[in-house]
Structure 1
Amino acid sequence: MIDQQAYAQYLPIEKHELLRTALGSAVSHIFRVDELQDPDRSPLPFFAQAVGFAVIDSCGRLEVGFPIHYCLVRSDESAFSVRLNDWACVAVSYHFALRLFLMTSGLTFSEPLVSYRQDVRVEDDYEKRTFIDRQEMIRIVALSTLINEPQRPLAKMLTHVALNFIANHEFTHIVNGHLLGGAGAVLGENGGRGDVGRLLELRTLEYDADALAVQMSMHHFLGMARGTVECTPDEIEFLGNDSDAVHTAFAGACIAMCMIDALQSFSLPESPHGHAHPPATYRLLAMMSAAENALAILRRDGRLSLSADAVRAALTRVVRAIELAISEQADARPDPLLLAVEMGSRSEHDAEIYRCWTRLRPGLARYKLGGHLLAAAQYDLDGNPLPRSRPELRHMIRPDES
């Protein structure tokens, strides 16, 4: 694990004013890491370390020579990335981190989430619950202020994973060349509203960020399960082997997606089709494809022992457990008609995203940092592997990325 003192090189004090200027009125305070070391002050040190380690670890594994600076900000935003000439920053707000922990803790009152590594059964009264829009269900759960003390270790673990995934997602915006709008460019929640073409581009970049983020998070937590990355006694309970690591890493990423969906419904109550971030329903399905492909790569490299069938079963089990936990906490279930509409529109949505990706990809390949493949080049949004297994798509890989 990276030594705590290593943070200093990622947080030069002279950069704080530049960051404050770039982020403008959104920021009321920027914390240095040395302000976050007292564990008795608040949950802040835990959140800071979870995100900071994710960014530093990502720099090392992708061999990125571009300085990535991490900071934690108190603001009304959730998480974002900023590029300023010769450096970049991943920011995750204290409000977002704390709300994520409270939502996760609230979900642990539901047995399905506690048993996310096991097959869960549908409660007898599930079919009798009222139908509610799934986004509204997530919003209700996200308002939770209850902490389940017996399950606090689980809530902390899944919050840690969710923040790791969020940090890697924002990190991808930087290293994959997404921030091309000049100094201080920021990918916003609603930057594409009113411009269908721009909205499609933003959503394409969000899927790309999800893809590499889930790959990096899986790599990181499998390393903890196998002892190549330091793991605390509390974490070992949830990362005891490859199966535990896959379940836990994907559960945290899924919960992060639900939290972002809820925050969008707070700040942008209009139709989700106007949000820069796609609805969680879309992203979870696309992320299952991303996780399966990432784990196939890790399996090939000898870093995973689970079969493809075992991986798919694990990912399906996690999504089912979270869906049931959300339904139980909201005392409702998703409206099947709305879900059918969403699923019916997803194929057309994916096709548009894929066409946009083929247009954006050559430019991103030139601007990306590090020697990694662009994650979204490895699969399409239906989970079909790209060029190695599908010769008809081989032309999509540039010679320098094959």
Structure 2
Amino acid sequence: MQLSAKIHVCLVMDKGRDFQACAIRLGEDEYCIMIWLAAAIRTSASISRILSTSVSAEFFSADFPVSKNQLTSPMGDTFEAYAALSLLPILDLGTKLNEFRNQLDSTALEWLVLHELGHIVNGHLALGKTVNGVTYILEYDLEADRNENITHQALEMDADCFANLFCVQGALTRRLSIDQIDTGDEGKRVEKRLQSYVFAVLAIIRGFDHAPFEIETLFDSDHPPGGVRMGYLLAQMLVMEKEGKIDFGGVNVKEATGKTAVSLERAISEATGIDGNGGNLLAAFAIGDSFLAPVLSRWAKVYPELNAAKISPFKLAPPQYEPA
């Protein structure tokens, strides 16, 4: 990307924190991407648990060991239950399928790192918070007000799309360990790679939500609900396909990604014993302009400032709404 800045990546071991990642500006042309080790461990645990379901075995055409309703105590809702899954030990799926799980883990964490890189490259830290000379965009800053929340939600969506663009391209060409299990043609293998990518990324984003969201409280956080982010990333892939930015090898992207999202929710229901009925993903598709108009118009408003602050020579994605 012709970047001249120095960008560090570090792992944070902090048992008492529930953060996942953040981007930091250390000084002139020097930045840091911080990833909490707990995020990697919890993501791996979640993915191992939802793979160990009959739904995943059928979806991936693989012989996963099935373990239904893996929680020993009842949970109040699907969000609480999914969080509880991530605190369980990582399941052993056997040598071949452990390799596949590792690939999904790596995909999810690659997306997380590139999301934070997107904050840096696209100039988001120009709107970050500065404390003791260090500027950062921290996951879930509860001190932000509504206007700041809308701005930061726009930045989160932009960072999501940045990561998605790069990760999809890599995922479609990356050989999976289950390629040798699937005896289909090359088109089927590309479709399986796309679905594996979507499955992994939605698995980590699914963990961002802790409760069902409502339109009235949509901007009470500086991060969009996970369901909204999931829906927007799926829509972005359709745009990638339509504009020919990525060669999906003839795969029906809408059908492949939609089936993956449904299968993920069904696998979570099987693993937790709680029927989420699509959870926040279905709600996300129903909110429409209630979210998009405020957030994307705010994106258009900060677009010139971000374009001037970005550290990449490329133009940012053009605004989709006029500034409100």
Give the counterpart of 2:256 among 314, 328, 335: 314
Q: Secondary structure at the match of 1:139?
A: helix
Instruction: Give the CA deviation at 1:186.
Output: 1.6
Deviations 1:185-236 (A, max 9, x none): 22123325451000111111110111111111011222435xxxxxxx7486
Instruction: Give the CA deviation at 1:104.
Output: 0.7
Deviations 1:118-175 (A, max 9, x none): 7xxxxxxxxxxx9964433422333332414234223211111000100110000000
Q: Secondary structure at the match of 2:4?
A: coil
TM-score, with structure 1 as normaliser: 0.64
Structure 2 CA distance, aligned partners of 1:90 and 1:235?
A: 31
Q: Secondary structure at the match of 1:91?
A: strand
Q: 1:296 to 1:371 in 2, by over 3 A?
A: farther
Counterpart check, 1:69 vs 2:8: yes
Give the counterpart of 1:327 among 239, 244, 269: 269
Structure 2 CA distance, aligned partners of 1:355 and 1:250?
A: 27
Identify which of structures 1 and 2 has the higher relative contact order when contacts are C-alpha pairs closer than 8 Å and 6+ apart: 2
User: What's the counterpart of residue 258 of structure 1?
Assistant: 206
Deviations 1:225-275 (A, max 9, x none): 5xxxxxxx748659974222211222211112023335xx7xxxxx77533
Contact 1:192/1:198 (<8 A) preserved:
no
Counterpart check, 1:87 vs 2:37: no
User: What's the counterpart of residue 80 of structure 2?
Assistant: 136
CA RMSD of aligned residues (A): 3.3
User: What's the counterpart of residue 163 of structure 1?
Assistant: 109
Give the counterpart of 1:358 among 267, 289, 300: 300
Structure 2 CA distance, aligned partners of 1:351 and 1:206?
A: 15
User: What's the counterpart of residue 204 of structure 1?
Assistant: 154
Question: How many residue pairs end up in the alignment?
Answer: 293
Instruction: Give the partner amino acid of 1:171.
Output: L
Instruction: Give the CA deviation at 1:96.
Output: 1.1
Instruction: Give the CA deviation at 1:340.
Output: 7.1
Contact 2:9/2:35 (<8 A) preserved:
no
Contact 1:64/1:369 (<8 A) preserved:
yes
Which stretch of the first structure deviates more once superposed, 178-187 or 165-174?
Answer: 178-187
Q: Secondary structure at the match of 1:261?
A: coil
- Runs (4+) of structure 1 exceeding 6 A deviation are 335-341
Structure 2 CA distance, aligned partners of 1:238 and 1:292?
A: 28
Q: 1:79 to 1:176 in 2, by over 3 A?
A: same
Structure 2 CA distance, aligned partners of 1:115 and 1:319?
A: 14
Q: Secondary structure at the match of 2:8?
A: strand
Contact 1:108/1:114 (<8 A) preserved:
yes
User: What's the counterpart of residue 236 of structure 2?
Assistant: 290
Kindly indicate which of the two structures has a greater share of residues assigned to helix: 1
User: What's the counterpart of residue 121 of structure 2?
Assistant: 175
Structure 1 segment 23-62 matched on structure 2, within 5 A: 62=1
Structure 2 CA distance, aligned partners of 1:166 and 1:236?
A: 25
Instruction: Give the partner amino acid of 2:25.
Output: R
User: What's the counterpart of residue 113 of structure 1?
Assistant: 56
Determine what percentage of the aligned residue pairs are the same residue.
20
Structure 1 segment 339-378 matched on structure 2, within 5 A: 344-375=286-317, 377=318
TM-score, with structure 2 as normaliser: 0.78
Structure 1 CA distance, aligned partners of 2:91 and 2:201?
A: 20
Structure 1 segment 137-156 matched on structure 2, within 5 A: 137-150=81-94, 151-156=97-102
Structure 1 CA distance, aligned partners of 2:30 and 2:270?
A: 45
Structure 1 CA distance, aligned partners of 2:256 and 2:272?
A: 24
Structure 2 CA distance, aligned partners of 1:304 and 1:153?
A: 24
Contact 1:282/1:346 (<8 A) preserved:
no
Q: Secondary structure at the match of 1:143?
A: coil
Q: Structure 2 unaligned runs (5+)? A: 62-73, 212-216
